[in-house]
């Protein structure tokens, strides 16, 4: 077998395994075997760039998008939403209107689940995914193709036969409960704001500029609407069954109903049964099945007359508030948490709910022992929505009041002007804050120290081996190996991981040191603007706020951090340990050539070999200027895949040439 043949065979095989795993949920090989085959394919593709194919299963994770974000694309057919109702009698009205509209002609209603994610439009040409666009305002949306490619249940190339040459298929991108819970647990550990529900999480994820991160978050997608000039059949249900054969994930919970009674039975069944699904649903959608009849019924100004969404009521449970405890985060925020008698709610047993802050608690007028309504309604983190005041007996429990002192270290709490939260100000001595900051420092997005998780940090802390993150760099394998349940090998692993973290780039060091309000993105922005730690530490308020995206709140926080002697000492110890305190020189390099001297260049589309940011840097290093809007003075457009039609037309009309990625790389001698 030639390499080319092997590449093709592996692609086909991996596509089949992806389909078995993500669409059918019935894998036939182990993850390890899959990874081995994927690695082999990647090796072969790297050695044979002439076989490159953006639809290869190896291309599910592409390069990062530029900071400009997503291109706006016009929908070929506007993406309408549906008329909504919470009332069964309005469902009956809908049914009667359809009967009348079709002048008594027999019809069927296709009943489906209403998935609670965000709608997506996928465009296929000749059996290949060419574009994925969010709903946006219904007329134009964001081109999120690079991110959607990472969703394993969406086929990049179609299976089977009979698909129209060009078609659109619409559906819902979802974050399954399991991925959602994992993501929020991670965010909680990092004290990042939690997503309120899987829908927000899915939409936040799809708008990320890093497909790698999107891939990690494990989105899924169900497809529910096929559009083409020539559809396989007149039946909506039948068309979706065909789409399933082509590799799309189509819900099994679809029924064609011939009477209102059957429709109501479908609604009743799923009102309870949906709690057992792996994804969030918020109702059912009823559609006239015949496409011809759909056309006959037509549309109002905003919604189709041939469909309606019936929404389920948010699920609630009534339970008894047993206690309120207080959690102290790494930044010292003290959050009240309600603990109540365990109750089942939307498929899980809930025992706790965040009470956010004191304002929230006071607004509820909570007393211990109160019967409280807990709600999920698409929100996985349960919320206490109300107190059942009528069930209060003669004996009213203690009123819930914010504690005055830190539950962990006893320090009186403080509240800052304009903030709802209470803080423990003892940042130098309060154990969960100190430990939390070390955990943050070693976490994946910060220094990413292999083998060091919350548990090990806890052990190191309890053994008195580390008091802050700088102590990590003094650790010897022999000390670590004496910890309970720690083998020599893991100890060595940890020490190596710590050593390796010395080459983690400056922007992540800046994130890791834990300045309040300086998250991953802000750290990157500051690092790019000031280039090194000393410049950040010395920056004045006006210099900080002059940086785009940096407001007064962040600026003040940076200044406060570096004004504190303890923080300065901590940072100095990290410098001595040898961490990266400046941006790598690569980006500042003297011009690599003057191949692009005097040229002003626009970057558009998605690229295979470098990210857009890398192309920007390359343009500058070769003497060119990257510009953002096209004019007759523009020298050329560096055009990637999926370049917007509007930009393309504009370039053509101004006579600005398009240069593709390969040609560009040749121009700068990287071809």
Which of the ranges 22-30, 76-84, 372-380, 581-589 carries the binding residues for ligand IVH, by CB under 6 A?
76-84
Min dist. Cβ of residue 210 to ligand IVH (A) = 24
Instruction: Tell which one of 22, 34, 95, 115 touches ligand IVH (CB under 6 A).
Output: 115
Give just the sign of the alpha carbon dihedral 535, 541, 545, 550. Answer: positive
Instruction: Tell which one of 98, 285, 384, 400 touches ligand IVH (CB under 6 A).
Output: 285
Residue closer to ligand IVH (CB basis): 202 or 619: 202
Whether residue 56 contacts residue 10, with contact meaning beta carbons closer than 8 Å, is answered with no
Active-site hit among 37, 114, 435, 524: 114
Structure tokens at 543: 């210099």
Count of residues binding ligand IVH (CB under 6 A)?
14
Which of the ranges 114-122, 267-275, 392-400, 521-529 carries the binding residues for ligand IVH, by CB under 6 A?
114-122
DSSP assignment of 208-221, as one string? -S-HHHHHHT--EE
Closest CA to 110 of 123, 98, 122: 98
Residue closer to ligand IVH (CB basis): 95 or 423: 95
Min dist. Cβ of residue 81 to ligand IVH (A) = 4
Q: Which residues contact 592 (CB under 8 A, 6 or more apart)?
A: 621, 622, 668
Instruction: Tell which one of 151, 309, 466, 579 touches ligand IVH (CB under 6 A).
Output: 309
Tell me if residue 203 falls in helix, strand or coil: helix
End-to-end, the C-alpha distance of the chain in Å comes to 29
Whether residue 407 contacts residue 422, with contact meaning beta carbons closer than 8 Å, is answered with no
The yes or no reply on residue 267 touching ligand IVH (CB under 6 A) is no
Min dist. Cβ of residue 222 to ligand IVH (A) = 7
The yes or no reply on residue 94 touching ligand IVH (CB under 6 A) is no
Rg, the chain, Cα only = 29
Please provide residue 218's backbone torsions phi and psi, each rounded to the nearest 5 degrees.
55, 70
Min dist. Cβ of residue 292 to ligand IVH (A) = 16
Min dist. Cβ of residue 276 to ligand IVH (A) = 18
Whether residue 393 contacts residue 371, with contact meaning beta carbons closer than 8 Å, is answered with no
The yes or no reply on residue 248 touching ligand IVH (CB under 6 A) is no
Q: Which 370-389 residues touch ligand IVH, going by CB under 6 A?
A: none
CA distances (Å), 639 to each of 571, 592, 617, 667, in order? 43, 22, 16, 14
Instruction: Tell which one of 80, 318, 535, 659 touches ligand IVH (CB under 6 A).
Output: 80
From the number of C-beta atoms within 10 Å of its C-beta (0-12, 13-18, 19+), residue 563 rates as: exposed
Residue closer to ligand IVH (CB basis): 82 or 403: 82
The yes or no reply on residue 111 touching ligand IVH (CB under 6 A) is no
- Binding characters for ligand IVH, 150-169, by CB under 6 A (x = yes): --------------------
Instruction: Tell which one of 304, 451, 497, 644 touches ligand IVH (CB under 6 A).
Output: 304
Min dist. Cβ of residue 160 to ligand IVH (A) = 22
Instruction: Tell which one of 25, 28, 67, 81 touches ligand IVH (CB under 6 A).
Output: 81
The yes or no reply on residue 172 touching ligand IVH (CB under 6 A) is yes
Residue closer to ligand IVH (CB basis): 223 or 601: 223
Concerning whether 114 is annotated as a catalytic residue, the answer is yes
Residue closer to ligand IVH (CB basis): 81 or 631: 81
- Binding characters for ligand IVH, 518-547, by CB under 6 A (x = yes): ------------------------------
Residue closer to ligand IVH (CB basis): 307 or 338: 307
The yes or no reply on residue 114 touching ligand IVH (CB under 6 A) is yes
Residue closer to ligand IVH (CB basis): 136 or 640: 136
What is the maximal distance between C-alpha atoms in the chain?
Answer: 85
- Binding characters for ligand IVH, 213-242, by CB under 6 A (x = yes): -----------xx-----------------
Residue closer to ligand IVH (CB basis): 263 or 601: 263
Min dist. Cβ of residue 309 to ligand IVH (A) = 5
Min dist. Cβ of residue 287 to ligand IVH (A) = 7
- Residue nearest ligand IVH by beta-carbon distance: 119
Region of residue 74 (phi > 0: left; psi between -120 and 50: alpha; otherwise: beta): beta
Region of residue 602 (phi > 0: left; psi between -120 and 50: alpha; otherwise: beta): beta
Strand segments (E) across 558-635: 600-604, 625-626
Residue closer to ligand IVH (CB basis): 215 or 297: 297
Q: Which residues contact 445 (CB under 8 A, 6 or more apart)?
A: 190, 508, 511, 520
Min dist. Cβ of residue 218 to ligand IVH (A) = 20
Residue closer to ligand IVH (CB basis): 236 or 622: 236
**Measured distance CA(180)–CA(279) in Å, rounded:** 10
For 341-345, which contacts have Cβ atoms below 8 Å and span 24 or more sequence positions?
343/317, 343/318, 343/319, 343/374, 344/317, 345/315, 345/316, 345/317, 345/374, 345/376, 345/382
Closest CA to 513 of 605, 440, 597: 440
Give just the sign of the alpha carbon dihedral 529, 530, 536, 541. Answer: negative
Give just the sign of the alpha carbon dihedral 535, 537, 538, 540. Answer: positive
DSSP assignment of 652-671, as one string? HHHTPPEEEHHHHHHHTT--
Which of the ranges 74-82, 340-348, 504-512, 592-600 carries the binding residues for ligand IVH, by CB under 6 A?
74-82
Q: Which residues are catalytic?
A: 114
Interacting residue ranges for ligand IVH, rule: CB under 6 A: 80-82, 112, 114-115, 119, 172, 224-225, 285, 304, 307, 309
């Amino acid at each position: 077998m030639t390499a080319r043949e092997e590449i093709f065979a592996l692609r086909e095989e991996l596509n089949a395994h992806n389909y078995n795993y993500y669409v059918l949920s019935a894998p036939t090989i182990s993850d390890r075997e899959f990874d081995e085959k994927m690695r082999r394919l990647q090796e072969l593709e790297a050695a044979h760039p002439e076989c490159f194919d953006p639809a290869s299963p190896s291309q599910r994770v592409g390069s990062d998008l530029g900071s400009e974000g997503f291109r706006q694309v016009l929908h070929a057919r506007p993406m309408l939403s549906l008329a909504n109702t919470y009332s069964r009698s309005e469902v009956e009205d809908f049914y009667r209107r359809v009967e009348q509209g079709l002048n008594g002609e027999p019809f069927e209603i296709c009943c489906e689940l209403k998935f609670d994610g965000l709608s997506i439009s996928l465009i296929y040409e000749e059996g290949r995914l060419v574009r994925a666009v969010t709903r946006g305002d219904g007329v134009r949306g964001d081109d999120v193709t690079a991110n959607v490619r990472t969703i394993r249940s969406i086929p990049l190339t179609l299976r089977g036969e009979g698909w129209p040459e060009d078609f659109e298929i619409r559906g819902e991108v979802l974050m399954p409960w399991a991925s959602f819970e994992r993501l929020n647990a991670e965010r909680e550990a990092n004290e990042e704001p939690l997503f309120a529900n899987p829908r927000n999480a899915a939409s936040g994820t799809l708008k990320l500029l890093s497909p790698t991160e999107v891939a990690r978050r494990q989105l899924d997608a169900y497809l529910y609407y096929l559009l083409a000039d020539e559809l396989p059949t007149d039946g909506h249900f039948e068309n979706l069954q065909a789409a399933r054969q082509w590799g799309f994930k189509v819900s099994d919970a679809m029924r064609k109903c011939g009477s209102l009674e059957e429709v109501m039975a479908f609604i009743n069944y799923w009102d309870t049964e949906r709690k057992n699904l792996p994804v969030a649903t918020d109702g059912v959608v009823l559609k006239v099945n015949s496409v011809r009849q759909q056309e006959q019924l037509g549309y109002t100004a905003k919604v189709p007359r041939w469909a309606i969404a019936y929404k389920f009521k948010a699920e609630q449970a009534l339970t008894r508030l047993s206690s309120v405890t207080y959690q102290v985060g790494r930044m010292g925020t003290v959050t009240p948490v309600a603990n109540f008698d365990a109750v089942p709610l939307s498929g899980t047993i809930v025992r706790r709910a965040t009470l956010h802050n004191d304002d929230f608690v006071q607004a509820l007028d909570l007393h211990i022992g109160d019967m409280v309504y807990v709600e999920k309604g698409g929100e996985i983190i349960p919320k206490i929505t109300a107190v059942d005041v009528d069930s209060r007996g003669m004996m009213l429990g203690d009123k819930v009041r914010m504690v005055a002192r830190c539950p962990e270290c006893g320090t009186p709490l403080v509240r800052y002007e304009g903030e709802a939260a209470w803080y423990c100000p003892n940042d130098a001595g309060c154990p969960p804050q100190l430990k939390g900051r070390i955990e943050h420092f070693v976490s994946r997005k910060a220094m990413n120290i292999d083998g060091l998780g919350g548990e090990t940090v806890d052990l190191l802390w309890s053994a008195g081996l580390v008091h802050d993150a700088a102590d990590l760099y003094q650790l010897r394998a022999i000390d670590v190996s004496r910890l309970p349940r720690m083998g020599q090998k893991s100890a060595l692993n940890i020490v190596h991981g710590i050593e390796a973290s010395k080459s983690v780039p400056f922007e992540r060091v800046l994130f890791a040191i834990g300045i309040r309000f300086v998250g991953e993105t802000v750290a990157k922005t500051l690092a790019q603007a000031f280039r090194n730690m000393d410049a950040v530490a010395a920056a004045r308020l006006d210099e900080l706020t002059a940086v785009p995206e940096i407001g007064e709140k962040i600026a003040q926080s940076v200044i406060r951090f570096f004004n504190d002697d303890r923080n300065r000492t901590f940072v100095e110890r990290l410098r001595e340990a040898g961490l990266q305190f400046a941006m790598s020189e690569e980006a500042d390099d003297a011009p690599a050539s003057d191949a692009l001297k005097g040229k002003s260049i626009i970057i558009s589309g998605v690229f295979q070999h470098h990210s857009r940011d890398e192309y920007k840097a390359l343009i500058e290093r070769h003497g060119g200027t990257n510009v953002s809007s096209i004019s007759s003075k523009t020298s050329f457009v560096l055009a990637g895949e999926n370049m917007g039609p509007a930009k393309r037309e504009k370039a053509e009309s101004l006579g600005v040439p398009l240069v593709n990625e390969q040609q560009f790389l040749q121009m700068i001698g990287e071809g």
